[in-house]
Structure 1
């Protein structure tokens, strides 16, 4: 639990009511209430810290990710001190079978800097694919199969956690399979194509949570569907964990 220095000695009745509602509400309502709690200042921040601490033993959920982000972005010293002390690398283990460092990706996604996170995701996939991919700055579809499952799980989990469950390779795969692997149906659904026109990078993509579900992360459309088809067919998605 947070120490006594991070908790408010008395909570005004309206704050107490907000705390009770937040604790007992459905996830959708909790997400809607987050900005109101943050707007109350230190009392609301302390409520979120206490709630987040209580969730530490469970698997992170979309709401847990949103609360973490709210604290991360709040600029309040109490929140920063708590996160630095208790969650220095975020909510999930940044596991890699090749010792790839995903700290910066975690930080960009926590800030919801989705454009920079997307670019870094491509860089990380190139790192996983090897020296040739790093040099050319993109991956061949033939290199996708060798990408480690544990790393793809880490990258995907970060995108899911910090996008309220809207973005990630696993989301794109779920939608693709739901459309019987029909690319022509998938492209407009995820906002990569409008009519006969591909969405222009970067200005016409949506780099925030108003984007369609599955909009991010991107893959290079100009090289056809082979890379994304290989990614969405990777054995990683057939495994809950490695």
Structure 2
């Protein structure tokens, strides 16, 4: 079952880049592949596999221009993980409210912040053990915000579209501070869309921005995933055949 989820997650992301014909080149695929391997693979494909599959399918749903096809992908994503409901809501806001999407997202995030204690599964996701992981002023969040601003200067509509999801999810992350176990997952998805948008950007010094992203985020997340005091993946537990 886990291999099936992993196949869905990786194939959907591969298919995404195959279908972005007007923006695609080998460099974009290599950049996103490398940064995904360093940043997301240990967290998602090895520990949160349903989340990884759902987010990958959601990316295909956003790419679809036909409402029927988008609805099919969104339904499939929701069946994989309920975090997809949040992205479906953001898609509907963008689809039907266009220029008002950012004020609406800010307003809804404020409502979530004020009424979070009445949300389903509040007690389950408000576990004290995760409180130290909620860091509004973290390097990751600053990177997401700065990348969003940077992408607004490019001419690629799809990149700006994906950056909208990145910023909106970051706002929901900040609003969900009382549910840190759920909030940290939303922040990861925000970073995913930010990096996906960045991979499609073509500007004068975008290659330098992307190179610095690989080195900085790669270093930070390699330590978090493998080399830190409490790594996500314990390399010492891996036994090698003699």
Q: Identify whether the pair has TM-score above 0.5, normalized to the shorter chain.
A: no
Q: Which has the higher helix share?
A: 2
Q: TM-score range by the shorter chain?
A: 0.3 to 0.5
Compute the TM-score of the two structures, normalised by the length of structure 1: 0.32
Decide which structure has the larger Cα Rg and report it: 1
The one of the two structures with greater contact order (alpha-carbon pairs below 8 A, sep at least 6) is 2
